[in-house]
Amino acid sequence: MNHYPLTEDHIRFYEKNGYIQLDNVLDNSEVEVLRKALAQAVEDKNKYNLNLGPRTDESYAKVFLQMVNLWERYPVLEDYVHNVRVAEIARRLTRSKFVRLWHDQALIKYPKDSKATAWHQDTVYWPMNEAGGLSCWMALDDVTMERGCMWFVPGSHKLGPLPPIDLGNVSPDNLDAVLPLSFKGVKPVAVELKPGSCTFHNGLTFHYAGPNVTDIPRRAMATIFIPAGTTYKKHTHIVGDRGNLHVGEEFHGPLFPVLARA
Ligand SMILES: O=C(O)CCC(=O)C(=O)O
């Protein structure tokens, strides 16, 4: 497996802005494998109750189809979470000895009756004492603004954790409602991606995705990584309370495998 040519400048950009765009991380054949696996998961979603949307809130279903921990069911997606080229980027961006998997998720924003993903930080929904977790959001389609690309507020990870937002019940575009005054002048950045290109974002960085107003679905496969030293805190989360961890204990065990190590 050849490593992605990540430079010290990339790492510094990530540290300063809380996100980074990296192009051509996967090639066409790797993207095609993921598309096929997602198509299978979509077909299986009722059989295995994979879609988190209806389980949380009806309005959520228009935001996206969200299927988590697919790596446990589909060997091809297990291979993908272990893709060292991707995981090694996460390890180096966090300057960590190793990174573990927190969970994966397929995020498919269907066209037409589509809602935006509201501005939010991720970390505030996660059962962890430390910040530092980050997501790789891999585009499997041409993801333009019209198709619901991701937007980030540069530097907003430096705000630290703010009170969580009720994602089903907010006006999704209202960035002013979620950012403190000190950030009012900071312009969000839209990141359009080609298939196989991705963003990595810090779990504290405010991000958003617009509705999909095109005719085809927007498919993304996200992997969430946690750096060495991340410890467990009791907190309700969509993936459930997994791994029998004690409060304050470092994440470990087969549900949170190490994916890259220095
Ligand atoms: O895919 C989206 O619309 C939003 C994804 C997101 O919030 C995330 O990956 O943290």
Q: What is the DSSP string of 142-202?
A: -B-TTTT-EEE-TTGGGG---PPP-GGGS-TT-HHHHS-GGGTTPPPEEE-B-TT-EEEEE
- Statement: residue 104 has pLDDT above 70: yes
- Statement: residue 100 has pLDDT above 90: yes
> Could you tell me if the CB of 64 is within 6 A of ligand 1?
yes
Mean pLDDT estimate for the chain? 94
Which pLDDT score, from 0 to 100, does residue 243 have?
Answer: 92
149-to-18, 140, 158, 194 alpha-carbon distances in Å: 17, 12, 23, 10
Share above pLDDT 70 across residues of the chain, in percent, rounded to a whole number: 96
User: How many angstroms does the Cα of residue 109 sit away from the middle of ligand 1?
Assistant: 10
> Could you tell me if the CB of 122 is within 6 A of ligand 1?
yes
> Could you tell me if the CB of 251 is within 6 A of ligand 1?
no
The CA-CA-CA angle for residues 242, 78, 130, to 5°, reads 45
- 8 Å CB contact between 176 and 153: no
- Statement: residue 168 has pLDDT above 70: no
> Could you tell me if the CB of 52 is within 6 A of ligand 1?
no
Q: Can you tell me the mean pLDDT for 205-228?
A: 97
Which pLDDT score, from 0 to 100, does residue 214 have?
Answer: 97
> Could you tell me if the CB of 118 is within 6 A of ligand 1?
no
Q: Can you tell me the distance from the alpha carbon of 94 to that of 79, in angstroms, rounded to the nearest whole number?
A: 22
**Token pair in block for residue 127:** 């059962």
3-state secondary structure of 9: helix
Closest by alpha carbon to 27, among 47, 4, 53, 8? 4
Q: Can you tell me the mean pLDDT for 23-52?
A: 94
Work out the burial of residue 234: count CB atoms within 10 Å of its CB; fewer than 13 is exposed, 13-18 middle, 19 or more buried. exposed
Which pLDDT score, from 0 to 100, does residue 61 have?
Answer: 79
b/e burial code for range 85-121 (CB count within 10 A of at least 16 → b) = ebbbbbbbbbebebbbbbbbbbbbbbbeebbbbbbbb
DSSP lists the bridge partners of residue 122 as none
Question: What angle, rounded to 10 degrees, do the helices at 8-17 and 84-93 form?
Answer: 60
Does the pTM surpass 0.85? The reply is: yes
User: How many angstroms does the Cα of residue 45 sit away from the middle of ligand 1?
Assistant: 19
> Could you tell me if the CB of 135 is within 6 A of ligand 1?
yes
Q: Can you tell me the mean pLDDT for 66-79?
A: 97
pLDDT level of residue 53 (50, 70, 90 thresholds): low
Closest by alpha carbon to 174, among 117, 131, 246, 239? 117
Share above pLDDT 90 across residues of the chain, in percent, rounded to a whole number: 80
User: How many angstroms does the Cα of residue 208 sit away from the middle of ligand 1?
Assistant: 7
> Could you tell me if the CB of 114 is within 6 A of ligand 1?
no
Q: What is the CATH number of domain 8-237?
A: 2.60.120.620
Q: Where are the domains of the chain?
A: 8-237
Q: Can you tell me the mean pLDDT for 23-27?
A: 98
